Amino acid sequence: MSEEDNGTTPPEPPRQGQAMQLGMQVVPGGAVLSFPVNLAMDDETTTQFVKLYLNAHPEIAQEFVRKMIAQKQQELAIIQMVKRSRND
């Protein structure tokens, strides 16, 4: 599937004279290179990737849970405020 087929526009390549951003991280057993890449993943692959990432970084999953709880507490407070205003 080409980028035009999936509705995305490819990023502009670096113009002449501009350096392409390249990152390098040395890790045990090798190195990780990062550079601009277009990669398409279906929902199943994306879900699998996110689950693996969150399992490796539980602190991020905990942060998401804290934010969701805070959001639900705000929603509950609004509902309770509306109920009280109707009963007054």
pLDDT digits (tens, 9 = 90+) for 6-53: 555 555 655 665 666 778 788 887 778 787 765 667 888 888 989 999
Which tens digits make up the pLDDT trace of 48-88? Answer: 989 999 999 999 999 999 999 999 999 999 999 999 999 87
pLDDT at residue 5 is higher than 60: no
CB 61 within 8 A of CB 49: no
- Amino acid 8 reads T
Domain that holds residue 66: 39-87
Query: Euclidean distance between the first and final Cα of the chain, in Å?
Result: 60
Q: Would residue 71 count as lying in a domain?
A: yes
pLDDT at residue 1 is higher than 90: no
Q: Would residue 5 count as lying in a domain?
A: no
Total domains in the chain come to 1
Q: What is the pLDDT of residue 3?
A: 46
Distances (CA, A) of 54 to 43, 65, 66: 16, 12, 15
